């Protein structure tokens, strides 16, 4: 690697600190602006739905003296569909000139897909500061749109929803898992055979739900890249790693994947997602089998000298920095226990807002202080990948508010047409691929919660007293988590793995190359099979 390439992938410390300062300073300004404007006026945009079917059911159950407990599954009673749908969309109207409002979001997606491919913009796009300036520039266009159509209060409510309610919990969780897992080093080297690579992917898939897709990705991607450094054909290994470890593996717990974390914040019981184990296993086993066959074919194409060199450099595997597993457990505890909507277990005290995020940051600081510097150096750890995610996704979370408002405003029409689990799976998943799966999950969660449920439909009681059709919640959860693997922007860890692989010299496919060469031909048949087995 030349000095220029090294500086490009590992910027100097002052330059990195300048980028972090610029990003944090401008983000803090925008957040404070949102906090200030959210209190101006009372006619601002309300991102929450009106009375729901579930609330009417709860009232009926209270009257009969038989109130379900959180996590209970019970049959829905008869409710007027028209009344429910009217209530569900009473506070949501289609934004004026909404076609103009979605342009910033479309431009941001286009920039992510195209700018890395153009010769005149490729180098500029490699800078996280450039990504952030573009993302925030388009975000300011969305802010201006809300200001023009409904004044300052609209801007305040939008920023409060986009940044404080969604982006801050999202990025703090990813950041915490990223930094703490970066203090765990899996050393040694093994021969890069199909069996070894498949074992790497299987381990990552198995642990992703319990230390997060971000944690599992950061723990294993660098050892996997080191193991395969001699091999010529390794792009497919990184892509399948994104499929299995960075997405589908995180199905079983809210800590596993950001959309499930948002579901937990909406009242889904913490261990409910463990019930998705069958879908998780089926998808994982099929993809691991596909990868093993695929890698076997690619391994046979490798030159003999590559195989000999790989065998000659075998070293025993060992883990250092194991204390960080304790801090990862603390992150899981923060997600499971600290919720501003509910009192702490065994206490009558309700946590104040952002206590959970503050506790996560504290665990990050503990990890940074107590982990030997040499461990992170061995991991070639830096903040480039997480800054890339933070820089791009702050723009995504702001600019996507207009498309999400359009979805909410057309909720009546949507729930009249979309009422089957397989429909929720594919539409939630399809939009998750391009809108990011976390906020998309939230929109369809609300649609399912407030839509018309037929008499006899099995309902899941949420922690806040509402209820949601069980089959639709399963479909939404699977769609958001599984199809988040379809693009680089479908899930936060996808971008991190891509960035780390490129830093290691792997020529990752372009935005469209990833979709048309890998995700569509590999994942689509698996998801069709999941649909026929579990959702019809």
List, for residues 114-143, the tens digit of each pLDDT value: 887 778 887 888 888 888 889 999 999 999
What digits encode the pLDDT tens for the residues 472-495?
999 999 999 999 999 988 887 898
Q: Fill in the DSSP letter of residue 150.
A: H
- The residue assigned the tokens 């802010």 is 143
The number of beta carbons lying within 10 Å of the beta carbon of residue 417 is 11
Distance (Å, rounded) from C-alpha 424 to C-alpha 440? 11
pLDDT of residue 81: 40
- The residue assigned the tokens 């717990």 is 253
β-bridge pairing 467-469 and 185-189: unpaired
pLDDT of residue 270: 85
pTM: 0.74
Instruction: Look over the chain and give the mean of its residue pLDDT values, rounded to a whole number.
Output: 80
pLDDT of residue 7: 41
Q: Is 212 left (phi over 0), alpha (psi -120 to 50) or beta?
A: left
Domain boundary assignment for the chain: 13-40+52-535
Long-range contacts of 414-417 (CB under 8 A, 24+ apart): 414/447, 415/85, 415/88, 415/447, 415/450, 415/451, 415/452, 416/85, 416/452
pLDDT in tens, the chain (536 residues): 344 444 444 444 445 545 555 555 555 555 555 555 544 433 334 443 333 444 444 444 545 555 677 677 878 764 444 444 444 434 467 778 888 888 998 898 788 778 877 788 878 888 888 888 899 999 999 999 988 887 777 788 888 888 888 888 888 988 998 899 889 888 776 778 899 999 999 999 999 998 889 889 988 998 899 888 888 889 999 999 999 999 999 999 988 888 898 788 778 988 899 999 999 999 999 999 999 999 999 998 887 666 555 565 667 778 888 899 999 999 988 887 887 777 776 677 778 888 889 999 999 999 999 999 999 988 888 888 788 888 888 888 899 888 878 877 776 677 778 888 999 999 999 988 876 687 778 778 878 876 666 667 788 988 767 888 999 999 999 999 999 999 988 887 898 899 889 888 899 998 889 999 999 999 999 999 999 999 98
pLDDT of residue 353: 82
Please compute, for residue 234, the number of CA atoms within 13 A of its CA located in the half-sphere on the CB side: 21
Distance (Å, rounded) from C-alpha 90 to C-alpha 197? 53
Q: Give, in order, the Cα–Cα distances in Å from 198 to each of 191, 193, 240, 293, 522.
A: 12, 9, 10, 10, 16
pLDDT of residue 465: 75
Distance (Å, rounded) from C-alpha 240 to C-alpha 238? 6
- The residue assigned the tokens 């999941």 is 530
Distance (Å, rounded) from C-alpha 48 to C-alpha 408? 9
| Strands of 81-160, DSSP E | none
Nearest alpha-carbon partner for 450 in 169, 41, 44, 48: 48
pLDDT of residue 479: 96
pLDDT of residue 291: 97
Q: Fill in the DSSP letter of residue 68.
A: P
Nearest alpha-carbon partner for 234 in 246, 244, 220, 224: 224
């Amino acid at each position: 690697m030349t000095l220029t390439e090294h500086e490009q992938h590992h910027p100097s410390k002052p330059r990195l600190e300048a980028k972090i300062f610029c990003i944090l300073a401008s983000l803090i300004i925008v957040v404070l602006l949102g906090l200030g404007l959210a209190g101006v006026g009372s006619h601002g945009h309300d991102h929450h739905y009106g009375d729901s079917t579930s609330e009417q059911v709860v009232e009926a159950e209270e009257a009969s003296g038989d109130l379900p407990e959180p996590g209970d599954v019970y049959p829905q009673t008869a409710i007027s569909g028209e009344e429910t749908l009217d209530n569900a969309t009473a506070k949501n109207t289609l934004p004026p000139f909404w076609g103009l409002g979605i342009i910033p979001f479309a431009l941001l997606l286009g920039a992510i897909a195209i700018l890395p491919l153009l010769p005149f913009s490729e180098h500029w796009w490699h800078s996280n500061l450039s990504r952030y300036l573009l993302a925030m520039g388009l975000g300011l266009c969305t802010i201006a749109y809300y200001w023009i159509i409904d004044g300052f209060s609209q801007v305040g409510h939008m920023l409060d929803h986009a940044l404080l309610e969604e982006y801050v919990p999202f990025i703090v969780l990813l950041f915490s898992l990223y930094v703490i897992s970066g203090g765990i080093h899996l050393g040694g080297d093994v021969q890069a055979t199909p069996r070894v690579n498949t074992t790497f992917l299987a381990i990552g898939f198995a642990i992703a739900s319990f230390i997060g897709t971000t944690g599992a990705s950061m723990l294993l991607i660098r050892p996997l890249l080191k193991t395969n450094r001699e091999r010529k054909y390794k792009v497919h290994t990184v892509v399948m790693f994104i499929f299995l470890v960075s997405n589908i593996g995180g199905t079983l717990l809210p800590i596993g994947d950001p959309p499930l974390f948002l579901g937990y914040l909406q009242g889904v019981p913490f261990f409910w997602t463990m019930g998705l184990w069958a879908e998780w296993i089926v998808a994982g086993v099929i993809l691991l089998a596909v990868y093993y066959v695929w890698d076997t074919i690619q391994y046979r194409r490798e030159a003999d000298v590559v195989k000999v060199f790989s065998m000659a450099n075998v070293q025993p595997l060992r883990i250092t920095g194991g204390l960080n597993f304790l801090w990862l457990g603390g992150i899981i505890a923060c997600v499971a226990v600290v919720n501003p909507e509910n009192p702490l277990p065994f206490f009558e005290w309700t946590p104040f807002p952002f206590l959970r995020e503050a506790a996560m940051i504290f665990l990050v600081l503990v990890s940074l202080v107590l982990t030997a510097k040499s461990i992170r150096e061995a991991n070639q750890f830096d903040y480039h990948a997480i800054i890339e995610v933070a820089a791009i996704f702050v723009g995504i979370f702001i600019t996507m508010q207009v498309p999400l408002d359009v979805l909410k405003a057309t909720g009546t029409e949507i729930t009249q047409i979309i009422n089957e689990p397989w429909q929720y799976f594919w539409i939630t998943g399809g939009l998750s691929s391009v809108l990011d799966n976390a906020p998309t999950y939230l929109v369809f969660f609300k649609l399912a919660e407030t839509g018309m449920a037929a008499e006899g439909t099995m309902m899941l009681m949420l922690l806040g007293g509402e209820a949601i059709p069980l089959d639709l919640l399963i479909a939404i959860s699977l769609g958001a988590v599984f199809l988040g693997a379809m693009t680089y922007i479908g899930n936060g860890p996808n971008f991190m793995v891509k960035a780390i692989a490129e830093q290691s010299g792997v020529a990752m496919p372009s935005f469209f190359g990833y979709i048309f060469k890998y995700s569509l031909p590999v994942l689509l048949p698996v998801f069709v099979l999941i649909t026929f087995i579990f959702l019809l």
